[in-house]
Structure 1
């Protein structure tokens, strides 16, 4: 969904958002009722969850906001005409952005409430979900390739580290995946770590990752370069 959004293909965001809302509503229904019904309609799931006459397993105070946002996504998609394309409707950036961020919020909340493992691990997953997808980076078996040919070495390093998330990459991996000479990659890393930029930091593990300033540069300056050419 996010990959299509970044590629400025607005219509799939609303269709995919509706599918997400259907599935997530069934998950809430299953967790609350104990019944697994993959064919139960979205509206029926939400109505069940909001029914005061039913004995609920879930804390409705915690999950109530998720149900309301799911309902909002689903109704928004229908009202905008994304299901049965209306001649008056034209998919646009703002609509797609709303649906995408609502879906991302619901995903994060579901993880936050229902993840049964290590809390720090779920916090890391949520932070990873908050990042952009990187369509210009391809995965080919174990190989990572930045598929744009118009980037400077510094831009390629930044985009690769954006893709690397919180774990980042070792200097060896950066040298392997960035198509540039070893000296030019080293110089780019040094510039990005310098006091006047501070866009990359080296962790105690030896890996390099983006700082908040580096992530900000991706959003403000390099968002268009995350796309395939």
Structure 2
């Protein structure tokens, strides 16, 4: 999907709203692909402020030329609901409710986590991206003058699945960056699963054929450095908080990212 297609569909909006909306949306997707979860939240917050201005402009009958940050974001969004009978529930109720949820999570989720906890940043980023896609699709659906079939096709493109480094099909997983080392693949796969994985299954997912070397060297080395927990009795492997932090902060989730 090209941003120019969305820009054309949203031609009713002034450039001062449309351009920053698309910029924050596209940058959030870039940060998601790169595995920078916290930056996804930053972009989501700015996206929500711009999206509110679009909803408020729809209610007022005139869009502002540039976005502004409301003093009380939840209150301002909720106040739009009183206009739903004349301006429609989509722009007055449904989109604003989604914006409130995104904004709340962005501003009031605790950033620091004790080492024994699994960071919710990845989970939050998933919600941010999906919420932003839904809002963008609704704007296309409600504000464009496209023919129904064309609008539907563009909405489908907007909400298409974001490309990720782990491909999943049934019980099969593959890393879509062959240049990653086997240790990096193990960490990425365990991070994506967020649960203990059988060592043999993990080896197959990592596309590695030497079973004894995989356990004796790869898994035990990661275990030794407290990046994973390799339970030899159960023959399972699970990522540990330092391993999770390494995946999130080292660019491992980025296609072509650094080692």
Structure 1 length normalisation: TM-score? Answer: 0.51
Relative to structure 1, the CA distance from residue 128 to residue 100 in structure 2 (aligned partners, 3 Å threshold; closer, same or farther) is: same
| Alpha-carbon distance between aligned partners in 2 of 1:55 and 1:2, rounded to the nearest angstrom | 31
Q: CA RMSD in A?
A: 3.2
- Aligned equivalent of 2:255: 227
| Alpha-carbon distance between aligned partners in 1 of 2:144 and 2:95, rounded to the nearest angstrom | 15
| Alpha-carbon distance between aligned partners in 1 of 2:44 and 2:121, rounded to the nearest angstrom | 14
Indicate whether 1:39 and 2:68 are aligned: yes
Give, in angstroms, the shift of residue 13 of structure 1.
1.1
1:2 equivalent among 29, 35, 40 = 29
Aligned residues between the structures = 140
- Aligned equivalent of 2:149: 120
Give, in angstroms, the shift of residue 18 of structure 1.
0.9
Spell out, residue by residue over 1:116-166, the C-alpha distance to the aligned partner (whole angstroms, 9 max, x if none): 121211111112122345699xxxxxxxxxxx7859xxxxxxxxxxxxxxx
Indicate whether 1:48 and 2:75 are aligned: no
Given that 1:115 and 1:122 are in contact with CA atoms closer than 8 Å, whether structure 2 keeps it comes out as: yes
| Alpha-carbon distance between aligned partners in 2 of 1:62 and 1:49, rounded to the nearest angstrom | 8
Relative to structure 1, the CA distance from residue 35 to residue 62 in structure 2 (aligned partners, 3 Å threshold; closer, same or farther) is: closer
- Aligned equivalent of 1:75: 104
Given that 1:30 and 1:36 are in contact with CA atoms closer than 8 Å, whether structure 2 keeps it comes out as: yes
SS in 2 for 1:125: helix
Give, in angstroms, the shift of residue 68 of structure 1.
0.4
Unmatched tracts of structure 2, length 5 or more: 1-27, 166-176, 181-251
1:110 equivalent among 135, 139, 162 = 139
Unmatched tracts of structure 1, length 5 or more: 137-147, 152-223
Give, in angstroms, the shift of residue 34 of structure 1.
2.2
Alignment of 1:1-229 (within 5 A): 1-37=28-64, 38-39=67-68, 41=70, 42-43=73-74, 45-50=76-81, 52=82, 57-60=86-89, 63-81=92-110, 86-88=111-113, 92-133=121-162, 227-229=255-257
